[in-house]
Structure formats: C-alpha cells, structure tokens
Structure 1
C-alpha cells in the first residue's frame, strides 16, 4: 500500500516537472514557434507515466520536424538532454522508444539526419547512471541504448528492409561474385554485431514484463527477424563459396561460422522465451537454422596445412590442387552447376 502511494506521488511530481519543462520551453523559444512545438511534443511523448507514446504526438513531432528547416539536430539534442537529466525509468525508456520510432517512422531524410546527428554527437543515447542501478529494468535500459547505437547505423531500404548504412550511398556491383563477397565479408559481420545487441535485450527476469518494455522488445524482435533473413542468406553463401576462398579468407570464414553457431543457439532460446512472456500475437518468428560444430570442424580441416587433411584434396590432370568434400562429410552433396558469364574463345 505504501509503495502504491509513493509511486503515485512520484508520478504527480513528475507530471509537475513536465509542466515546468513546457513553460521553460515557451520562455526560451517564443520567437521560434517550430522549435517550441518540437520541444513541447518531446516532453509530452516522454511524460512521467507508463503509457506508450501515442500516435498523435508522434505525428505531431514528424510534422513539426518536416516543416522546420534545421530542426533534426535540435530534436536530437532535446531527446538526449531529456535522457541524460531524468532519473525516472519510464521517462528514460520512452526517450529511447521515441528515438526508435523516429528511425522507423520518419522519412528517409529524417533517418539520414539522425545518423549524422549521432555521428556528430548531437544524438547521445548512452547514460552512465543506468550502470549504477542493479535493477533489471535499468540493465535493460542500458542494453536497449546499446542496441539503438547499433540500429542508427542501419537504414530502411526501398523494399522496407533493414540494411547497413553504406557510406557514399552504397556499392554498385558489376558481377554476382562481387555482390556475394560483399554480403559475406561486409554485411554478414554487421549482421552478427546487430544480433549480438539483440541477444542482450532479453526480457527482464521479473514477470509480468512491463508495458513499455514489451513495446520496445516487440520492435527489436521485428527488426531482428528482418536482419536474420539477411544473416542466414550470408551464412549459406559463405558455405557455398568456401572452397573458392584463399586460405586466410577460409580462416576468417571459419571464425564467422563459429560465432554464427553460438548466436543461432542463443537466438533460438531468446525467441522461445519471448514467445512465453511477450504478449504480441502478430509476431512471425523465423525458423532459426542449426549450425553444428561438426560442420565447422569439417570445413576447418580444409584450411589446415597438415598432411592429414590431404584426404580432403585431390589433383587434376595438370597437378592443380582442387578442394573436395569426402562422402562422409556433413557437407557432402551433389555439385552445383554454375553458369559462367565470361566468353571463351575456342581454337
């Protein structure tokens, strides 16, 4: 009973602070109505209660930002300041949720400007005061902030899918092999970094999961489903091109596969846990594929210069060494026919 009264008093005090912040914004920005509207909307979106950010307030922020030139750095600074000054868990979590919704629901211009604001320091999501509180909610806040710091490095492409933000507007590939190598050695490591941040955002052990935490976890899960599709494509492509790689590249590939084996197991466990405690019925969980250590060891033997691995090699008529997987290997399968696009002149 005492705790209920205390929480209500804290909420009333927090709402009074919100009104004071709105009054302060009016005094500071009365000559710049667009900036005043943005600051007031930020305070309302991150108010001292446990209700999610309503769509009306979100649309207002997007409208004001779209119609006020140069307002994205201002918006980023106001959210960052709100996050740094508060000691209220709900306000902090709603500030992070506001950043997340802006990354997902804004225009491509706003998305890119938020990326620039983060790189320039206008948008800051890490707060040291999270670390000083051992409570599970604050641990989740710190992990969610770390996730968003990775998320701001990704963009939503024209197909509505997440992809890493490529400096210079992306890379154009002339050949399928070039695109495959980029997916494997550039995008796949980024996917693994992304999945690492997702895995740390596991729901707190306390049940039931709070409303705001559920909203943030649902958004994280939806984005992880998209990234996992690219992730699994990259793993399949890596295995397919493995025997065409140089020895140093094979060693790097095996390192990536070992990490993928651990991440796949952890991701499956996270999804199973979220099915039980996150009450979102519309989530379409992907089927996480197994990557066994037996498979990886079989591939690692191909990079081992030890003569014992010679059973995995054979020579062609010209004496050139050609990779071969023995029938007992877990990767044994009929060879795939590849069609070359290079013209060859026969005598």
Structure 2
C-alpha cells in the first residue's frame, strides 16, 4: 500500500509540472478529473460552487492514494497564479471545505502537506494588494493559516493540534495540566483574533462568495468560543494551586488576554447579528472576564502558598510526618461529575467468543 501511495504521489508531481493535458491511462484520468473538479470550483463568477464538486474531489482522492499531493499542488498553483479577489476567495474556500469534508486521515495528510509547503494558503502576491477589494482575502488567508493547525476531535469539536516538537517534560502532574490547558486556551485566543480580523462588518465585500466565507468562519468560531469559555471557567474555578510559579504565570497571561478579548468578542458578535448572513445564526452567550477574576485567582494562589508554608511548619514539629499516597492525589478539586459516553463500540463475534472463554 505504501508503494502504491508513493507511485501516485510521484505521478501527481509529474503531472503537476507538465503532463496534465496529455492523453493517458486510467491513473492519469483520475488526476485529470481532480483538476477538472478544481477548475469548476474556482471560476471567476461570484457564485458559490456546488458542494458535489467537493465530494467528487474527496471521492477521487480516496480512490487514488497519494493523489492528495497532486491536489494540494494544483490548488496552490491556481492560488498563486490568480490576481482576482473572487477567484482567490473561492480557492481558499475550496481548501476550507475540503479540510472540513474529508475524514481524519485526509485532514491529517492535508495538514502535513501544508506544513511541507506543498499546500499554500498565503499567496506571495497578496502583500502587494492592500486595497479594500482584497481585505477579505487577506483576512481569510490569515484565518486559514491558523485553522490548518486545528483538527476535529473524536467529540466532533475543533481542537488545536499539538506540534511534536512541543512535547515537554514537567516536574509535576499539575504543571503538565496547566500547560496543556493554557496551550489550548492560547490557541483559542489566537484563532478568535483571526476571526475578528477576518471580517470588517461594514466592508463592501457582500457578494455570494464573501457571504459563504463569512457564514462558515462565523459558525466555526462559535464552537471554538464555547470550548474557550469552558476552559476559562475551569481555569478560574480550579487554578491548579499546586502548580509551580512559571506555570502560574501562564494562567495570569491567559486571564489578562481574556480581559481584553472577551469584550471584543461580544461586540463583534453583536455587529455580526445585524448583517444578512449573521442574523439567522445561533450565537453563544459571551462571558466577560474582568480584572476582578484575575485578582480572585491570584488571591487563591496566595492563600494556598501561605497555607502550604503553615503546613510545612507544622510538619517540622511532628515526630513522624504523615505523607499522603500519590495514588490518592486528586487532580480536579471539588465535585466530580460522571459523563456517559455516547460512542458505540462494535465487537466482532470472534472477540465475544474469546471473552466468554
């Protein structure tokens, strides 16, 4: 299977350079069909392309392992060659739709090709075009640059993908949990900033393609914000008081950023509700983080530090120190809630027979 995938990848690269218009066999015909579907999606008309072309591309790629390399390079070539804002928007929208429509293996492969620069979402020519007609292209390109580092998790929610080089070692489990939570919250903050930068609500870009981009990005932002709000609430209620000071500073930075950002998000959503696209959407309730929240968390840290000092002083007066077992350590203070999974697990008859034995 790996050999076949490499052959397809090499064939895609070969066609990408010079051979796409030459007659060929069945293998080359699939790549030609992919190219045709791409061109149908990214014409010059300000109309949203039919979703069936996206499904056609996904179907063709699924039946030709390795052709995703050809797909990525052809899309990048089209994006680099056009100077029309509508066509650039449609090309970026195609990338976004493919990213959402494919399975997790397709999503992972597309993200890897973006990392290797085979797939580009930021055309080099865009820096020379700064007038209003290209404002949405600039914003959408920046959004997709950040969005490529996200993936749909098993729960169906968008989650940031942790780069392999970010695997760290920690002094304690609390430090690890704080860093993990702050990483997720920081990525949420960045993506939400990209959403707000993506749209100038009073922009003149109100054509069908622009409205489609607006609706898609806005709906994604709702899911991201909901996860962001849940993470902030958990961070403020359980700020991991046993974490070391460097990781506590991460908590402080996240909360400080949220004080500035949450009012901006609320104002942004209020403006979006007045637009033709945004008025029919189901917006999340935005919870405003205030400086008093930061003070409350810092006071909690301080009180825990003082109580820890008192506990250490009391231990020095005891003849036999009593230490709590590591197995009894509770990561989540307060009430625990059980969640019933709705994921069905299917067992083969052979596995059931083996289990009964």
TM bucket normalised to smaller: 0.7 to 0.9
Aligned residues of 1:41 and 1:60 also touching (Cα < 8 A): yes
How far apart are residue 116 of structure 1 and its match?
A: 1.0
Task: Pick from 266, 278, 283 the counterpart of residue 285 of structure 1.
Answer: 283
Who is 1:249 aligned against?
247
Deviation string, structure 1 residues 221-251 (Cα, Å, up to 9, x no partner): 1111111122112212222232333322222
- Please tell me the root mean square deviation across aligned C-alpha atoms, in Å: 3.1
C-alpha distance 337-105 of structure 1, shift in aligned 2 (>3 A)? closer
Who is 1:75 aligned against?
71
Count of residues in Structure 1 that have an aligned counterpart in Structure 2: 293
Task: Pick from 16, 21, 28 the counterpart of residue 27 of structure 1.
Answer: 21
How far apart are residue 127 of structure 1 and its match?
A: 1.8
Who is 1:132 aligned against?
128
Task: Pick from 268, 272, 275 the counterpart of residue 274 of structure 1.
Answer: 272
Using the TM superposition, name which of 258-267 and 75-84 deviates more. 258-267
How far apart are residue 132 of structure 1 and its match?
A: 2.0
Who is 1:10 aligned against?
none
How far apart are residue 318 of structure 1 and its match?
A: 5.4
Q: Normalised by the size of structure 1, how large is the TM-score?
A: 0.75
Deviation string, structure 1 residues 247-269 (Cα, Å, up to 9, x no partner): 22222211110111111111111
Deviation string, structure 1 residues 300-333 (Cα, Å, up to 9, x no partner): 4667xxxxx889956746547xxxxxxxxxxxxx
Counterparts of 1:79-158 in structure 2, within 5 Å, are: 79-158=75-154
Who is 2:160 aligned against?
164
Q: In structure 2, what is the Cα distance between the partners aligned to 1:29 and 1:159?
A: 45
Are 2:212 and 1:215 aligned? yes
Who is 2:317 aligned against?
none
Which 4+ runs in 1 deviate beyond 3 A? 28-31, 175-183, 297-303, 309-320, 336-339
Q: Normalised by the size of structure 2, how large is the TM-score?
A: 0.73
Q: Which structure 2 segments of 5+ residues have no match?
A: 1-17, 315-332, 337-357
Aligned residues of 2:174 and 2:243 also touching (Cα < 8 A): no
The DSSP-based 3-state class of the residue aligned with 1:155 is strand
Q: In structure 1, what is the Cα distance between the partners aligned to 2:54 and 2:158?
A: 21
Which structure would you say has the larger RCO, counting Cα contacts within 8 Å and 6 or more residues apart? 2
How far apart are residue 211 of structure 1 and its match?
A: 1.7
Aligned residues of 1:267 and 1:288 also touching (Cα < 8 A): yes
Deviation string, structure 1 residues 165-197 (Cα, Å, up to 9, x no partner): 2457xx9xxx99688535423222221221121
C-alpha distance 179-338 of structure 1, shift in aligned 2 (>3 A)? farther
Who is 1:295 aligned against?
293
Aligned residues of 1:130 and 1:139 also touching (Cα < 8 A): no
Aligned residues of 2:262 and 2:286 also touching (Cα < 8 A): yes
C-alpha distance 299-281 of structure 1, shift in aligned 2 (>3 A)? closer
Who is 1:197 aligned against?
194
C-alpha distance 76-29 of structure 1, shift in aligned 2 (>3 A)? farther
Q: In structure 2, what is the Cα distance between the partners aligned to 1:278 and 1:137?
A: 20
Aligned residues of 2:252 and 2:294 also touching (Cα < 8 A): yes
Are 2:224 and 1:230 aligned? no
Q: In structure 1, what is the Cα distance between the partners aligned to 2:182 and 2:269?
A: 26
